[in-house]
Amino acid sequence: MAIVPGTYRLRTSRAKIALPLFGFFALLILFGASFVGAVDYTSPNFILRDPVIGESAGRSTSSNFELFGSTGELATGQSASTNFTYQSGSNYFTVTVSPAPPPPASPPGGGGGGAIISTPNVVFSGKAYPLSKVFVLKDGQIAVSTIAGPDANFLVSLSNVSEGNYNFSLYGEDSDGRRSSLFTFPIFITEGASTAISGIFITPTIDVDKQEVKRGDNIAILGKTSPNADVVIAVNSVEPLFFNAKAQGDGAYFYNLDTSPIESGSHSAKAKANAEGLLSSFGKSVGFTVGDRTIIKEPSSGTCPTRADLNGDCKVDLIDFSLAAYWYKRALSAEFSSIEAKDLDGDGTITLRDFSIMAFYWTG
């Protein structure tokens, strides 16, 4: 689908994947299942590519387009034409597509010479954490990275992108090595056009100071986000609990949670932030237990997993799972095959065996 120059308002959603061992292997079963091919829906000026039809859905129509059912919201935003608009997801960002500048004119009297072909660039901008690392993945592989400024703003470009459909993902890593969830969306790159994706707000990082806390004692919930952002912390319980915190100038936030109203058992916490008109989605969850004793959470040992760490950050988590999932039953690129896949079973193919290895070495 060619993108018409202009400014569009997109929505995106993030797949929130909790991976206790049972849930992880449930995902493996899904990967082992047969996939059903999707058929494009088209009209003279609208194309919906590879739709996923859901169970409960309605009917969307325009003068020359009709869609029965609903499409999945793995990571997509708004599709639009002059008389049809489809929106999905929960998180807004802005995509501005502008034509590439025309090639310079040949000097007078010059002879011959080949045509100058403009290769598209993709520019990503938004907020992360002060002086944090921001990584951009293209189709499951890290393509470029940058460092956010002291104000948490970042801007990074990816050049020489060929025309076609791509899945882009971004994540941030704070100064303590904690990483955000993936911010993922698909986009079609048009030859000769530059694409700017702005208004991205990387989800807050989160951690706790205790792995188990005696009921009635306090547990600290902390992390990083944009400076002076308003943070909402959600704690799962019989009735979900929500708490407010304020980030400091360096992006650090802290909340001392009284566990008296929380029942004994396993719980998790996650956070989202609001800063300068931008609202992030909820980020990764961190787990803790409310019980009859207090156990301080040990800092990371600093040792790297011996296998399944596909992006070399000394962790085996959702980023590695996403990398492996992208290459599942696909022909591996030379770069992935020679550098990354050797950390799994080394057979040159991503299969269920590789996901089993990943589950064993999972660090979260």
Cβ-contact 120, 191 below 8 angstroms? yes
SS3 232: strand
- Token pair in block for residue 205: 């990082």
How far apart CA 41 and CA 334 sit, in angstroms, is: 34
Top mean-pLDDT range of 84-93, 304-313, 320-329: 320-329
User: Is pLDDT at 275 greater than 60 in this prediction?
Assistant: yes
- Token pair in block for residue 232: 């909402």
pLDDT at 136: 92
**pLDDT for 231-266, tens place per residue?**
999 999 888 999 999 999 999 999 999 999 899 999
* C-beta pairs of 1-6 under 8 Å, 24+ apart in sequence: 1/47, 1/49, 1/79, 1/188, 2/188, 2/190, 3/97, 3/188, 3/190, 3/193, 3/195, 4/97, 5/97, 5/98, 5/99, 5/193, 6/96, 6/97
**pLDDT for 58-86, tens place per residue?**
555 555 555 554 444 444 444 444 444 44
* 207-296: in CATH 3.30.1490.20: no
Domain with CATH 2.60.40.10 in the chain: 1-26+36-103+118-202, 207-296
Task: Report, as an integer, the average pLDDT of 290-307.
Answer: 77
For residue 328, the cross-strand partners are 350
Exposure string of 123-138, with b = 16+ CB inside 10 Å and e = fewer, is ebbbbbbbebbbbbbe
DSSP for residue 13: -
pLDDT at 206: 94
* 1-26+36-103+118-202: in CATH 3.40.50.300: no
User: Is pLDDT at 287 greater than 80 in this prediction?
Assistant: yes
Which residues are CB-contacts of 145 (< 8 A; sequence separation ≥ 6)?
133, 134, 135, 136, 156
What is the 3-state composition of the chain as percent helix, strand, coil, each rounded to the nearest 5?
A: 10, 40, 50
Share of the chain above pLDDT 70, in %: 60
**pLDDT for 90-143, tens place per residue?**
444 444 444 444 444 444 444 444 444 445 688 999 999 999 999 998 887 888
What is the architecture of the domain spanning 300-364?
Orthogonal Bundle (1.10)
Domain with CATH 1.10.1330.10 in the chain: 300-364
Angle formed at CA 182 by CA 120 and CA 156, multiple of 5 degrees: 35
Share of the chain above pLDDT 90, in %: 33
End-to-end Cα spacing for the chain: 37
**Tell me, what amino acid is at 268?**
S
pLDDT at 109: 45
- Token pair in block for residue 343: 């950390």
**pLDDT for 139-163, tens place per residue?**
878 889 999 999 999 999 988 888 8
